[in-house]
Amino acid sequence: MAYIRTEVADIITVRSIITIHEIDLRTFNTINGESHNFPELIYLREGFSDMLIGGIPFRLEAGQILLVPPNAFHGPVDPNCRGTGVHTIFSFDSDSPLLPALYNRIITLSKDKILQYLALIEKGMGLFESAPPNSKQSGMVRRDEAEDYAVLALKKQWELFLASLYYDYVPAALIKRQRQKEKMLADFTVYLKAHLHEKVTLSQMERHLGVSRSTLRRLVSELCGCSPINYFLELKFKEAKRLIGEGALTFTEIADRLGFETIHYFSRQFKKHTGYSPREYSKQYTQKTHSD
């Protein structure tokens, strides 16, 4: 007898946990603001906080939460007036298309949601600690006693929390529009993956989707945090990583397969987008595989 299998989509996946910490604005020394390429969830435990996010002013009050978009510069409206707030922060990596609907949206949490959030923060602080000063890196590292199952459980609980924010606080009409955008992006992604070996121009992209250039740019920027061309390059380099891992092709052959004119241009762009040269990535991949 055949059984029906219902596929369950991972609507929000937390790929990595970056920071879980608290900042008291009354004593915090760094007041100039910052930007980074990952989202940051700010909950105000007490007091108030006047912030600029991407040049737009926001006032966060006790019991409210706000998701700062990736690459958005955020800091105090007035560096000389820090506010009285205590920020409780969770930052993470995720490319979920649902998150943009939550960006820059001030949400007043219910008592249950506040308790859920603070419990996750407390659990996270028990599993992670600040990176050692001599590591020359920011963020957090797992504590020695943090078990794999506990870190996995925390990741899943954060995903459920973020999903509940989306479904509990984003208006239904906005969710419908968001799903339409996700469908368009999925079609766009399938098109780009079928042409990884080519140079695809913006004109070809917009003709395929049947939208204007400004609509295309807005769609990809909102859902992926980058331009259409950079999104195409990210797909190319994701495929390049897979091919390097397989080890069946030389770097020159991979560059040619992915439509790069020279190995030098491919190597330069690969390092720009991944932080590693193809050779460095191959070496790291080999070491990780052997250690596993």
pTM metric for this prediction: 0.64
Residue % of the chain over a pLDDT of 70: 95
The three state secondary structure string of the chain is CCCCCCCCCCCCCCCEEEEEEEEECCCCCCCCCECCCCCEEEEECCCEEEEEECCEEEEEECCEEEEECCCCCEEECECCECCCCEEEEEEEECCCCCHHHCECCCEECCHHHHHHHHHHHHHHHHHEEECCHHHCCCCEEECCCCCHHHHHHHHHHHHHHHHHHHHHHCCHHHHHHHHHHHHHHHHHHHHHHCCCCCCCCHHHHHHHHCCCHHHHHHHHHHHHCCCHHHHHHHHHHHHHHHHHHHCCCCHHHHHHHCCCCCHHHHHHHHHHHHCCCHHHHHHHHHHHHHHC
Do 164 and 36 share a domain, yes or no? yes
Do 274 and 191 share a domain, yes or no? yes
Q: What is the pLDDT of residue 101?
A: 86
Do 43 and 165 share a domain, yes or no? yes
Do 152 and 179 share a domain, yes or no? no
Residue 10 falls within a domain, yes or no? no
Residue 116 falls within a domain, yes or no? yes
Of 144, 170, 196, the one marking the end of a domain is: 170
Q: What is the pLDDT of residue 50?
A: 87
What is the span of the domain harbouring residue 162? 16-170
Q: What is the CATH number of the domain that holds 50?
A: 2.60.120.280
Do 136 and 59 share a domain, yes or no? yes
Q: What is the pLDDT of residue 36?
A: 86
Q: What is the pLDDT of residue 48?
A: 86
- Confidence band of 100 (pLDDT split at 50, 70, 90): confident
Do 54 and 128 share a domain, yes or no? yes
Do 63 and 188 share a domain, yes or no? no
Residue 211 falls within a domain, yes or no? yes
Residues 179-230: tens digit of each pLDDT: 888 889 989 999 999 999 999 999 999 999 999 999 999 888 877 878 899 8
Residue 269 falls within a domain, yes or no? yes
Q: What is the pLDDT of residue 82?
A: 58
Q: Of the segments 2-11, 140-149, 267-276, which one has the largest average pLDDT value?
A: 140-149
Do 201 and 166 share a domain, yes or no? no
Residues 65-86: tens digit of each pLDDT: 999 988 888 888 776 665 677 8
Residue % of the chain over a pLDDT of 90: 48
Indicate the number of domains in the chain.
Answer: 2
Q: What is the pLDDT of residue 289?
A: 59
Of 170, 204, 238, the one marking the end of a domain is: 170
Q: What is the CATH number of the domain that holds 181?
A: 1.10.10.60
Do 89 and 200 share a domain, yes or no? no
Residue 72 falls within a domain, yes or no? yes
Question: Would the pLDDT of 119 be above 60?
Answer: yes
Q: What is the pLDDT of residue 43?
A: 94
Of 114, 143, 170, the one marking the end of a domain is: 170
pLDDT (mean) for 14-39: 81
Do 154 and 231 share a domain, yes or no? no
Do 25 and 151 share a domain, yes or no? yes
- Name the token pair of 262: 């020279």
Lowest pLDDT segment from 8-12, 105-109, 147-151, 165-169: 8-12
Do 123 and 209 share a domain, yes or no? no
Q: What is the pLDDT of residue 274?
A: 82
